[in-house]
Structure 1
C-alpha cells in the first residue's frame, strides 16, 4: 500500500482546522427581525439557552401603548427602559421579558417614564450586546450563559443607580417578590404567563449579585421607597435599587441566575455557571458556543448579505425550543406543581409546534439530531407528566394555541429521519391516544368526533370544544393522520396504517370542484355561504370563515402528503400548475404565515415545471428577506420563517414532514457543506456545489449525485445522511 505524503496529510489537517476556526458569528446580525413584526430581539442568548438578556424598549418613553408588542425590543422605538431577561424570540403574543435591570445616573428615579433614555451606538453579535444610554452617560454591555446573564455598566463620575424592576415585563400576569440577602445580593420571583389569552401561569425565580457595595440600597412598592429594607417585598409594581458614588468610567457589574424551580436553584445555577466576575470570559464562551453550532453548515460564494441572511437565520432557528432544567436537572413538571428531574440530556421548552413542525424540526433532525432527540424525549416526558403530548408548550404550560395535532408529525418525522434513541412504543401510544380518544376527554383534538363522523369538521355544528377554522383544522388533522399511518406501517401495525391512511384523505370532502379550492361545508353536505376564496381581513388573524390565519387560497394546496391525488381533483398537471401559478401571480400567496410556505416547491410535482419552483423560490427569498431590521416578513414564529430561508438558500426543502424526500431548487451559494453527526448518521459531510450560482443563473440544467447523472428534483434524506456530493449546473435560461 502506498503511503500518503506527509505534506498532504498536514495540508488536510490544516484545511480541516481552518474550516472550523472561521468566525461565522461575524455574519450574524441580531437586529434582523426586530421590526416588521418579526418579533426577534438583539440581546444575548446561548444556543438553546434558557436565559437571554435583551435591551427592553417594548414601550416607548411616554408609555401610551395600551398593549405590549410580542418582543422586548422593537427597532423603531426610541427609548430604552432597561434590560430584560428570559425573552421569547419570534412569538405572536407577549410573555416573559422579566426582571428588568436599568442603570441610571443622577438622582434616583423608579418610574420608567422618568428614567427611560435614548440609546445610540448599538452593537449586537452572538454573545455580546452594547449600547450607550444617552440620558445617563452610561455604557451598557451584556452577555449570557445558558442559565445566567451578566451586565457590565460603565458609569460617569457622580451619582449612579442600578434598578431591578420586578414589575416591568411583557407577561400578562402580574405579581412578584424581591429581597436583599445582603448589600450586594438580591433574590426574588416573578409570575409569568397568560400567553395569547390563556390562563396558565408559571413562576421564575432569580438571584442577582452586584460587583460593588452600594452607598445606599432599598426596595420600592408602588411609588414608595423603603431604604435598607431586608425583608421580602411582594406586589405588582415592586423593585430593588442600589445607589453608588462612582468615579469616571467606573465599572459596576450585575449577574443574575434564573430557575423555574426555586431561588435555591437559581443561586446554584449562578454559582456553577458564573462563579467569578469574568465578563470577557462569559462573552467569549458564548461566542464560541455559537460558532461551534453555526459551523455545522459552511457556505461559500454568494454575497456578504447572503451570508448574513443565512447565518442570522440559523442563529434564530437555534434559540427555541430551549433548555428548561437547572444545572441539577430539576424543572417543573408539565401542567403540575410537582418538580421533576432529568437524568441525562436536556429538557426543552417553548414548542411552537403548529409553526415549527413544517421545517424547523426536520432541519434540526438533519443537522442537530442530538438536540432534536432530546426535544422528542422532552415531548414524551410531557406525556408522562400530564397524559398528553404538547401542542404549544411554554415553560411546562400548555397554552393550546393554534390548531391541529402537530406533535404526532414531529415525532413521526424525527423517527423516519433516523432519530430512534427514544421509546417509540410510548410515542405511538401517546400519538394514538390523541388521534382516537373521544372529544369529551381529548384536549388536543377539538372537533374530533365530527371529523370522524362526517369526514370533515362542519361549520354549523356545536363541538364540545370550540374549533377555530374547521377547514384548516381538518387539513391539519389529515396530515397528522397520514404521518400516523406511515409510522404505524413502519411498526407493523397494518390495521392502523389502513385506518389512518383513509382518514388522511378526508380533505377530499372539502374540495369544491367549482372553484378548485378547499371550502367550508355544513353538516348536511351543503357548502357554507358566503364564500370568499381570497378573503383578506385587516390582518392575518383570525382568518376567513372556516380558516385559521388565512383563506382558501392559502390552504387549498396544503395537502403535501397527497399532492398527486390533489392534482387529479384539480384536473391534472396543467390545471394544477395554472391554479398554483395564479396563487403567486394574483398575490394570494402569503409569505408571512405558515400554511402556504411550501407552495413554491409544489411545481416540482409536475414534470417540466420545475423551473417555476426555482424562479418562485428565488423571487420570494429576495422579496421577503434582507439584512435590515425588517428583514423577516412578519413573525419569525420561533425560527420557522428563518428555516424557510436557510433551506431555500441551500437549495432543498422538506415540503412534507414525514416524507423523506426534499424538493430541490437552485442554491444561492456556490458550495454548501453540511457536517453530519456521526452518532446518528453514516456520512461525515454532504456537499452541494453550484459554481455558477448567482441571481441570474437560477435555472437548473443538470445534476450529478456522487458522480452519477441525477434527474430527479427530489433529494432523499437517506442520500444526504450517507454523505456525498450533489453537483448542480445552473444557467440563466430555463432548461
Structure 2
C-alpha cells in the first residue's frame, strides 16, 4: 500500500511512503481504510470522533493519498491474548519495505528481543556522554534532550542501499554508505550539527555526504530537505556553515571539492536561476535586500531575515575560499558579510527593514512580530529577536550600538523585558553574547541558568515550543554541559556554568572531562588541561587537546 505526505505549506512537495504490515495471527477479516473529508448528508461506515473513514475489504486494491491505513479484525481471541503487528517502511517501493522488515525484524524474533535490542542501541548512543550530579529532573532533561537530537536527520536509504534521488520523482539511486534525510537546516545548523560533529562524527560525516550527493543530483545543497524533496522552508543557505564548521573541526570523509562547487554556485548564481537565494541580486549589488523585492515566494516580506542568514553563510564560505586560494572571491564574501550594517537604525536601536529607495521602513515598531505575528522584514519574529543575530561580528555590532556598555545594557533589556523568544532560533545564542566582553561573563552564566530552569523541565510542557528536530534540545545539552557553539561556521565555543558535577564526553580524540567544584553562583576560576584558563571563548581543537575542563565556583 502507498501513502503520500507533504510538509509545511508545500502541498506540491509530496513523497511516497510504502509500508508492509505483518501480524502474528491470521485475521478473520482485513482491508484498507481511507479517511474521508467531512461531507454534508453522507454517512460513512465508521465515524470516530476525529473524522469519517471508508473501509475496503477487496485485498487487491492499492490506495494512495494521505490518511491511508490497513485494518484487521480477529475472532476467537482469548482474554489477555496479544497480537503482534510488525511494520516495514520504504521511500522506494513495497518490495523494499518488505526487505527492510525481513532484515530488521527477522521472522521468529520476539517482540521483547527487538525492544531490548533497541534499548541497548539507544543506551550505547546516549552513553557517549556520561554525567554525574545534578538533580534527578536535570538528568532526565539532559538525556531526553540528547535523545531528541539523535532522532533527525534519519536514514532514507533501504537495507539494499536504494533511496529516492533528490527532486527526481520515481528515480532511485544506490547510496555509498548511509543516505540521510530531514535536513531542517535553518534550525539545526546552529547547534545540532555541532553536537553531532563533536560526539557522533561518523554520522555527521555521512550526513554531509548526503547533502553533497543531493547537490550532485539536482544542483543545490539542501535548505530544508524532506525525503528527497526541497521544501524551501525558512531562509538562508544553511548547508554552507554546517559543512565549513565540520571541515574546520577536522572531519575529512567527504568530497570538499564537490561541496565547494555547490556552495559557490548558490553564492554566485543570479536570483532568477537560484532557488537557494532568489533575492541574491540586490544582496550582491546593494549589500542588503529591500522590502518587496521578490514577493513571488514572500521573501521580500522577510527581507531582513533572509539577508542575515546570507551574511552568516558568506562569512563561513569566505574562510573556505581563502583556504582554497580563491582570495578575490573570499574578499568579496567578507564585504558581503558586513552588509548587516545597512539595517542598523540608530533611531530604533535595532535592525530595521529597508525600503527599495534605501530608506528605513516607517512607521516601525521593533516589538511587532512577537508570537509569530506577520511583520514586514522579519520571519517568525520581531526586530528584537533578530537584532543581535550577527554572530560573526558581535564586536562590530557593539560598536554601532555605541560601545560595549550600551550593547550589554540593551542585550540585558532583551531578557529583563521579555523580548527574548526561547522557542525560536534567531535569538537562541543571545545569552552567550555577554561573554564576548570581559567582566560580563557572569551575565551569560545567570541567563543560561535561568533559561534552563524556566523552560526545560520533565513536565509534559517541559520544552519551549517546537523542538525543531532537536535544536531546542541541543541548546539544553550544550548549556547543561557548560559550553555552546556561538557562531555557525566558526570552530569556537563560549563557556558557561555547567549543571553537573562531572561529565565525560567520548570524542575521536579521547574522553573530554568537564568538572565542577564548589557551590558558588558564578565561576571564579577555570582550567583546561591543568593550566589556568582566562578566556571564555575557546577553540574546538584547544578544548579537545586540553582533555579536562575544570570550573571552580
What TM bracket, shorter-length normalisation?
A: over 0.9
- The within-5 A match list for 1:26-65 is none
- Normalised to the residue count of structure 2, the TM-score between the two structures is 0.93
2:424 aligned residue:
593
1:366 aligns with 2:213: no
> Which of 714, 720, 725 does residue 548 from structure 2 map onto?
725
Q: CA RMSD in A?
A: 1.7
Question: Any stretches of 5+ residues in structure 2 without a counterpart?
Answer: 37-43, 46-53
* Secondary structure at the counterpart of residue 561 of structure 1: coil
CA contact (8 A) 2:3 2:63 kept: no
> Which of 396, 399, 405 does residue 231 from structure 2 map onto?
399
- The within-5 A match list for 1:224-235 is 229-234=58-63
For each residue in 1:205-253, what CA deviation from the matched residue of structure 2 results, as whole angstroms up to 9, or x when unmatched? Answer: 1111111112333445674688863322436676433322111111111
2:41 aligned residue:
none
1:687 aligns with 2:507: no
> Which of 517, 521, 545 does residue 698 from structure 1 map onto?
521
Q: What is the Cα deviation at residue 490 of structure 1? A: 2.0
Distance 1:500 1:463 in 2: 25
1:377 aligned residue:
209
CA contact (8 A) 1:652 1:715 kept: no
- The within-5 A match list for 1:275-674 is 275-277=106-108, 278-462=110-294, 465-467=297-299, 468-537=301-370, 539-542=371-374, 544-674=375-505
Distance 1:441 1:235 in 2: 34
* Residues 550, 213 of structure 1: alpha-carbon distance in 2 compared, 3 angstrom cutoff: same
For each residue in 1:410-456, what CA deviation from the matched residue of structure 2 results, as whole angstroms up to 9, or x when unmatched? Answer: 11111111111111111011001001100000001121111112211
For each residue in 1:273-308, what CA deviation from the matched residue of structure 2 results, as whole angstroms up to 9, or x when unmatched? Answer: 111241011001100110000011111111111100
* Secondary structure at the counterpart of residue 335 of structure 1: coil
Q: What is the Cα deviation at residue 516 of structure 1? A: 2.3
> Which of 16, 20, 43 does residue 207 from structure 1 map onto?
20
For each residue in 1:634-666, what CA deviation from the matched residue of structure 2 results, as whole angstroms up to 9, or x when unmatched? Answer: 010000000011110000001101121200000
Greater helix proportion? 2
Distance 1:234 1:460 in 2: 43
1:712 aligns with 2:519: no
Distance 1:444 1:217 in 2: 46
Distance 2:243 2:88 in 1: 33
Distance 1:660 1:462 in 2: 34
For each residue in 1:12-38, what CA deviation from the matched residue of structure 2 results, as whole angstroms up to 9, or x when unmatched? Answer: xxxxxxxxxxxxxxxxxxxxxxxxxxx
Distance 2:269 2:120 in 1: 47
Distance 1:228 1:359 in 2: 49
CA contact (8 A) 1:447 1:464 kept: no
Q: What is the Cα deviation at residue 344 of structure 1? A: 3.6
Distance 2:169 2:297 in 1: 26
CA contact (8 A) 2:529 2:546 kept: no
CA contact (8 A) 2:291 2:354 kept: yes
Q: What is the Cα deviation at residue 500 of structure 1? A: 0.4
- The within-5 A match list for 1:158-197 is 188-197=1-10
* Residues 192, 462 of structure 1: alpha-carbon distance in 2 compared, 3 angstrom cutoff: closer
Question: Any stretches of 5+ residues in structure 1 without a counterpart?
Answer: 1-187, 678-682, 731-735
Q: What is the Cα deviation at residue 586 of structure 1? A: 1.2
> Which of 90, 99, 102 does residue 271 from structure 1 map onto?
102
* Secondary structure at the counterpart of residue 552 of structure 2: strand
CA contact (8 A) 1:671 1:691 kept: no
Pairs aligned (count): 533
Distance 1:197 1:662 in 2: 36
CA contact (8 A) 1:218 1:241 kept: yes
CA contact (8 A) 1:330 1:339 kept: no
CA contact (8 A) 1:684 1:723 kept: no
Greater strand proportion? 1
1:96 aligned residue:
none
Identify the range of structure 1 (377-386 vs 343-352) with the bigger mean alpha-carbon deviation. 343-352
* Secondary structure at the counterpart of residue 194 of structure 2: helix
- Normalised to the residue count of structure 1, the TM-score between the two structures is 0.70
